[in-house]
Amino acid sequence: MLLDHSLMGRTALVTGAGKGIGRACAVALAQAGAHVIAVSRTQSDLDDLQAELGASVETWRYDVEDTAFHRRVEGLNRLDVLVNNAGTNAPMPFVDVDESTLDRLMALNVRSVFLTSQAGVRAMSGGEGSQGAIINITSQMGHVGSPNRTVYCMTKHAIEGLTKALAVELAPAGIRVNSVAPTFIETPLTLPMLNDPEFAAFVQRSIPMGKMGRVEDVAAAVLYLASPGAGMVTGHSLLVDGGWTAQ
């Protein structure tokens, strides 16, 4: 029996959909038949996505930390899939982390995910036979530690914990909650780090498969977890890390 990865007739919302992993997720979900709500702060990125996907995508220009965004999500008539992808990083030595950096990463990487999920659950129908799915984009750094990434690791570990807790609480309502935890993927966020030859060599050595992932690798994992084919999968973190955390 072939697994059912079709999302025909479903509505999926993706945050941070303008670039990188979020954009790839929006494209994959749309290609699987979903009506995609793509959320980004950058209108030009949304316009490009609209030009590519046409009527299968609806674009929302919001900061995911804004209360107005959460209220709009909560007011949706239908929401089947929520992909919490928006996030950021600011690598620096632990002793150099200032309060504004700490607060900024906590607000975007943790607080906004919590509030967006809360709004999304209120919009999901739930109930028997529901295919409601929340997918949090975390990181391999939500499973391990790494130098100069204390705040980022802390926030991603927090979302891994939130994923498990929500999976247990929302299972009776038919809503599945999982995470996708990628290794370093070349995106606009990571490119400046990977342009450092020493750091790029460290990353390459740390991945047993000997290569960095692509945004399409992450989107494929998201598509699986969003689909009926993952109907018994909840509370799981799907590592797309080339073996980094298996060592």
Active site residues: 152, 156
Q: How far apart are CA 245 and CA 247, in angstroms?
A: 5
Cβ neighbours, 10 Å, residue 198:
6
Measured CA to CA, the distance from residue 238 to residue 133 in angstroms comes to: 14
Structure tokens at 24: 């790839």
Q: Residue 55 and residue 130: Cα distance in Å, rounded?
A: 25
**Using CA atoms, how far apart are residues 236 and 54, in angstroms rounded to an integer?**
33
